[in-house]
Amino acid sequence: MTKFATCLTLISAGLLAACSQTAPASECDGWRKLSPAAPTRQFIIAQDRPFAEQVAGHNQFGAKRGCWN
């Protein structure tokens, strides 16, 4: 019975390993352009200028890397 369990475990592990594939990594993974609505942009610019500049910097950084247009 022990040989059977060992064989079954090895076969199962092999099948699971064969099914897993990884996509090629990209420096854009996890990044998305921030596009607040016009009223939200106006509010943020008026109320929290440093954050508005961070959003602009984030969008420029991604555009320079070709993550979005």
Other beta carbons within 10 angstroms of residue 41's beta carbon come to 15
- 3-class DSSP assignment, residue 38: helix
Does pTM surpass 0.85? no
Residue-range domain boundaries for the chain: 36-69
Could you give the residue ranges of the DSSP H alpha helices within 1-69?
2-19, 38-47, 49-64
Q: Residues 13-55: pLDDT tens digits?
A: 776 666 666 767 888 988 899 999 999 999 999 999 999 999 9
Which of 42, 35, 41 is CA-nearest to residue 58?
35
